Amino acid sequence: METLVVEHPLVAHKLTALRDARTDSPTFRRLADELVTLLAYEATRHVRVTGVTVDTPVAKARGVRLAQPYPLVVPILRAGLGMLDGMTRLLPTAEVGFLGMIRNEETLKAETYATRLPDDLSGRQVYVVDPMLATGGTLAAAVRFLFDRGADDVTALCLLAAPEGIAHMDEAFAGSDRPIRLVTAALDERLNEHGYIVPGLGDAGDRLYGVV
């Protein structure tokens, strides 16, 4: 999986505050919202555009507009919701689909409890947002939903990624002719015995939504 770790002092500053266990949920939500916007700037470098000509007050000008069909943004509930507004702020015309998934903390396997996606995604660019890429089980299942519907251009935006998650995605989609890109704020060290990213930031959904 093509991976871009965004190196930028503002990204590092906001990620450090997100990691800090002392950061409360309102602040955590604001930082996640700000951070995804910085990642989205990089993640949308390939977004499809089409040529247009407009009249300025002075003269005609050649330009571009987002091509249609517009991209699809898919937050993976719960924690992906914390990244949705930041993403749609940059892509206001994007369509939004939803995947509700929860990782079984015994088996570490992802289980799906809600799917609201267009049936036909052929020709669509898709941006998946989920703060954490840990074992990769959740993202792999999400990408499979999207590929099964015909998507051929998927970019995942994650706040943190673990090497195990990237390796899992590489195995799961080895030989696939459809590119999957990952844009993240940091590649962390490893997973602990509970499947949590080390040093990580804890359970992203719990941090976002005040679960103590």
Ligand X SMILES: O=P(O)(O)OC[C@H]1O[C@H](OP(=O)(O)OP(=O)(O)O)[C@H](O)[C@@H]1O
Contact residues for Mg ion, defined by CB under 5 A? 79
Task: For residue 48, count CB atoms less than 10 angstroms from its CB and return exposed for 0-12, middle for 13-18, buried for 19 or more.
Answer: middle
Identified binder of ligand URA from the candidate list 36, 40, 134, 157, rule CB under 6 A: 134
Coil, strand or helix: which one is 17?
Answer: helix
Please check if 59 is assigned to a binding site: no
Nearest approach, Cβ of residue 29 and ligand X (Å) = 14
Identified binder of ligand X from the candidate list 88, 130, 151, 186, rule CB under 6 A: 130
Please check if 67 is assigned to a binding site: no
Please check if 179 is assigned to a binding site: no
91 within 8 A of 127, measured Cβ to Cβ: yes
Residue 97 vs 131, nearer CB to ligand X: 131
Stretch near ligand X under the rule CB under 6 A, chosen from 30-38, 48-56, 75-83, 118-126: 75-83
Tokens standing for 200? Answer: 């990580």
Among candidate residues 149, 137, 139, the one with its CA nearest the CA of residue 184: 139
Nearest approach, Cβ of residue 134 and ligand URA (Å) = 4
Residue 118 vs 202, nearer CB to ligand URA: 202
Identified binder of ligand URA from the candidate list 157, 169, 203, 208, rule CB under 6 A: 203
Residues 6+ apart with CB under 8 A from 72: 94, 95, 96, 97, 117, 118, 121, 124, 125, 126, 127, 151
202 binds ligand X (CB under 6 A): no
Coil, strand or helix: which one is 212?
Answer: coil
11 binds ligand X (CB under 6 A): no
CA angle 154, 18, 21 (to 5 degrees): 135
Pick what 188 binds: Mg ion, ligand X, ligand URA, none; C-beta below 5 to 8 Å, kind-dependent. none
134 binds ligand X (CB under 6 A): yes
Residue with tokens 């996606």: 117
Task: Specify the pairing of strand 153-161 against strand 190-191.
Answer: unpaired
Which residue is closest to ligand X by CB? 205
Nearest approach, Cβ of residue 151 and ligand URA (Å) = 24
CA angle 81, 83, 87 (to 5 degrees): 120
